[in-house]
Amino acid sequence: MSGGYDERCAADLANVGEGRELSRADRAWLARVVTGAVRPNRDKPLWDLAHALAGLARLTGAGAGRDLVTLALDPRLATPEALAARFAGASAGAAAADARGLTLAAPRPWRTTWAGLARLLALAEFVLTAEDLAQFPLVTGWFDDLAKEPDEAERLAKRLARHLAAYRSDHLPLLASERRFRGILGFLRGRSAFTDDDILAFWRAEMAAGERPGFRTVAEHFVTFEAAAAVREGLDGLSAAASLDAMEGWEERLTASLSDLAQGEPAASLADLLADLPDGPKVLTGSERNDLADLLRLEPFHRTRPLTALRAASFGRVQSGLANRLRRGGGGADLAARASCAEAEEYRALAARAADLAHHLGRMLRIAAALRLAATGLADDLDAEAQAALREAEADLRRIRRAGFDDRARVASGFAAMDAALVRLAEETGRFVRAAEALDRRQGLDAAFAADRAVFAQAFAAAYAGEAA
Amino acid sequence: MTGTDDAARLLAEIHAARGLLRASVPAGGPTHAALWTHATREPGRVVDLAVERAIRHDPAIARRYRSMLAAQALAHAPLAVAASDGPLSSRRVGPFALDILPAEADAPPLLILRGEGRMPRVIEAMRGEEAVRLDLGEPVDGSIVLALDPAVPEAERLGRLLGDPASAVFLL
């Protein structure tokens, strides 16, 4: 995915997520709070955090900021169950904890669930440790002020809101992507549904306007646009809501759809699965991985909009070649030759390679299954058909000439470590292959490629003409 | 702000959040919790050797650790910027004055720490890969006196580090 955050921000979030072993949904929540994707008020989670810490300060009798830091960082308090076990039934002053969660009676009524508190403590760890702990002493000082005056939660909330706003302006460069989404919204004129050709037409308009965004980058924005359709509808309702009551209803719905968005994210992106495949045995070579990553990177478009996936794989590669050459100031084919798309890979060839890879991954899966069965010792109880499949997989294993496949024990342990990833990769590659076949029947891959080549070549030639001359 | 502007802003924020969720960054080094446990330990207690090693060998982790010390210190003097001539026999750390009285025939060098208000309980000094943390003991009449006995390796190291103007000193 392109854009909108820097490496520091990705590392700050990863450190909190891994240290606390956060679930995917909680990681998504934290990422949304950090980028500001919370409505109607993006500072609400910080307001909640300040009140949660005020409540905990009372319940634990924390006298100093460091006590609150210890609570926030303690991995043994990272889950709702652990928090309930530690605090349920406690009360002190305005703070009380019951079976459901933490409540404050003063200076204003406030409450959160144990699950909410667990998330808020993850946010506390983030605000403390952001920027690789550069602000740790400052934020601890603010916690210290709160520990001494637990009624001053609002002051802490304001400080944290300013702190996170400054962090966003330093580490989340959202303007370019905001401009692009404004462009997409204007281009679609209120429509939610769009086609492969809308994506291409929008990209061409941006190219003609001198923006020169990557086709793949534009397609990635459409992936988000599609995933967030429900959220946008909620937002429209929010600005149209006439009364405060209606507003509250929308807030809940918006929060629910923003959470759905995170839940809808695949458990791990296909690109991650590919990057994390262990190296021994060599199930996929480097170039096989790259091919798959190119085709699957726009998840879920590889199964829902195979034409856009093919365009990004074929002409996206040409465009990054152009951009790289411009950056380097030379090397390889010249700009005009690249812009002509003579080197662009044909859709039929891309689809055929994907089919080969799907076949290859299927074979790897059968081998993995055979090895697993052999290890359980249940192979003898199988019916004749399964026995035959097993023998075939064994024969396959002996035929494979790839690094690491000569050592059966190593193959078995390697597959055991990656078979869930393999199943998903094989499945998704297969889905792309079937989507591309359907596209071929509908439109013809060769005709589509020829038409697209003319379009991309024209757009590249016009956009890069200045440098080519 | 118009509806389109806010929708575009929200979409950009969601786009970044989705990107962050997919960005695979290996978390490096000990967890924040492990570092904090180390930074708040009592002197002389068993330490997590892996954490100690990481702080000693990885400048980025050492920086995080110093941030955690600074957050709980009553006063601290970060790594000094200016070099000075020869070893120091006295230095100020925030509102506290630290003096080292040289050894005499039958007595080891002494560290005298004076200051107003709440007195520190622990001192930690570090430079590069070398670090030491010691209990300061109770103040008497507003001063803390600690013998830097050369026969005790940690005390000897503290004396040496305090005399080095490039050392960082934390009073906790």
CB contact under 8 A, B9 and A225: no
CB contact under 8 A, A269 and B22: yes
CA–CA min distance B153, chain A (Å): 30
B68-117 tens-digit pLDDT = 999 999 999 876 544 455 666 788 899 999 998 888 888 899 999 999 88
- A40 cis-preceded (ω within 30 degrees of 0): yes
Give the three-class secondary structure for A460.
Answer: helix
Percent of chain B whose predicted confidence (pLDDT) is above 70: 92
Total structural domains within chain A: 3
What are the tokens at A130? Answer: 């952001």
What are the tokens at A73? Answer: 């960082």
**Based on the domain organization, do A66 and A194 belong to the same domain?**
no
**Based on the domain organization, do A294 and A405 belong to the same domain?**
yes
Please check whether residue A202 lies inside any domain of the structure. yes
Helix, strand, coil % over all residues of chain A, rounded to 5: 75, 5, 25
B133-153 tens-digit pLDDT = 999 989 988 899 999 998 899
Query: In this model, does residue A378 exceed pLDDT 80?
Result: no
**Based on the domain organization, do A150 and A47 belong to the same domain?**
yes
Point out the domain boundary residue: A225, A247, A265: A265
Q: What is the pLDDT of residue B81?
A: 44
Query: pLDDT category, A265, cuts 50, 70, 90?
Result: low
* A123 CB within 8 Å of a chain B CB: no
Query: In this model, does residue A230 exceed pLDDT 80?
Result: no
Q: What is the pLDDT of residue A377?
A: 72
CB contact under 8 A, A10 and B25: yes
* A236 CB within 8 Å of a chain B CB: yes
Half-sphere exposure at residue B49, Cβ-oriented, CA atoms within 13 angstroms? 0
CB contact under 8 A, B11 and A74: no
Please check whether residue A2 lies inside any domain of the structure. no
A162-203 tens-digit pLDDT = 999 999 999 999 999 999 999 999 999 988 899 999 999 999
Query: In this model, does residue A421 exceed pLDDT 90?
Result: no
Write the burial class of residue B100 (CB in 10 Å: 0-12 exposed, 13-18 middle, 19+ buried): buried
CB contact under 8 A, A235 and B10: yes
**Based on the domain organization, do A205 and A314 belong to the same domain?**
no
The size of the A-B interface in CB pairs under 8 A is 177
DSSP state of A45: H
CA–CA min distance A277, chain B (Å): 13
**Based on the domain organization, do A189 and A233 belong to the same domain?**
yes
Query: In this model, does residue B5 exceed pLDDT 60?
Result: yes
CB contact under 8 A, A232 and B7: yes
A303-332 tens-digit pLDDT = 999 999 999 999 999 999 999 888 888 777
Q: What is the pLDDT of residue A182?
A: 95
For the entire predicted model, the pTM comes to 0.88
Q: What is the pLDDT of residue A1?
A: 43
CB contact under 8 A, B24 and A275: yes
- Measured between beta carbons, the chain A residues lying within 8 angstroms of B5 are 182
Residue scoring higher pLDDT (A238 or B147): B147
Of the residues A125, A177, A261, the best mutation for testing chain B's interface (the one with the most B CB atoms within 10 Å of its CB) is A177
**Based on the domain organization, do A112 and A209 belong to the same domain?**
no
Q: Complex ipTM, two decimals?
A: 0.89
The residue written with tokens 């429900």 in the block is: A230
Of the residues A224, A236, A260, A263, the best mutation for testing chain B's interface (the one with the most B CB atoms within 10 Å of its CB) is A224
Query: In this model, does residue A369 exceed pLDDT 90?
Result: no
How many CB atoms lie under 10 A from the CB of residue A444? 14
Q: What is the pLDDT of residue B155?
A: 92
CA–CA min distance A8, chain B (Å): 10
Q: What is the pLDDT of residue B82?
A: 47
**Based on the domain organization, do A232 and A333 belong to the same domain?**
no
Query: pLDDT category, A383, cuts 50, 70, 90?
Result: confident
A25-34, A146-155, A232-241: segment of lowest average pLDDT:
A232-241
**Based on the domain organization, do A322 and A398 belong to the same domain?**
yes
Q: What is the pLDDT of residue A329?
A: 80
**Based on the domain organization, do A356 and A415 belong to the same domain?**
yes
Q: What is the pLDDT of residue A468?
A: 62
CB contact under 8 A, B15 and A3: yes
* A192 CB within 8 Å of a chain B CB: no
Contact A136, A128 (CB under 8 A): yes
Q: What is the pLDDT of residue A469?
A: 59
- Residues A144-152: what's their mean pLDDT? 95
What range does the domain containing A189 cover?
Answer: 175-265
* Residue B72: closest C-alpha in chain A: A66
Of the residues A181, A257, A265, A270, the best mutation for testing chain B's interface (the one with the most B CB atoms within 10 Å of its CB) is A181
Q: What is the pLDDT of residue A406?
A: 80
pLDDT, mean over chain A? 89
- Measured between beta carbons, the chain A residues lying within 8 angstroms of B27 are 11, 14-15, 17-19
Point out the domain boundary residue: A225, A240, A265: A265
Write the burial class of residue A262 (CB in 10 Å: 0-12 exposed, 13-18 middle, 19+ buried): buried
Q: How many whole angstroms separate alpha carbon A291 and alpha carbon A270?
A: 12
CB < 8 Å & 24+ apart, contacts of A297-300: A297/A216, A297/A270, A297/A271, A298/A216, A298/A219, A298/A220, A298/A223, A299/A223, A299/A266, A299/A269, A299/A270, A299/A271, A299/A428, A300/A223
- Measured between beta carbons, the chain B residues lying within 8 angstroms of A227 are 14, 18
Query: pLDDT category, A246, cuts 50, 70, 90?
Result: low
**Based on the domain organization, do A145 and A19 belong to the same domain?**
yes
CB < 8 Å & 24+ apart, contacts of A243-248: A247/A40
Query: In this model, does residue A440 exceed pLDDT 50?
Result: yes
Point out the domain boundary residue: A265, A289, A313: A265
Percent of chain A whose predicted confidence (pLDDT) is above 70: 91
pLDDT, mean over chain B? 88
CB contact under 8 A, A66 and B18: no
Give the three-class secondary structure for B143.
Answer: strand
Name the interface residues of B facing A (CB cutoff 8 Å).
Answer: 3-28, 31-33, 36, 40, 60, 63-64, 67-68, 70-72
Nearest CA-CA partner of A69 in B101, B36, B14: B36
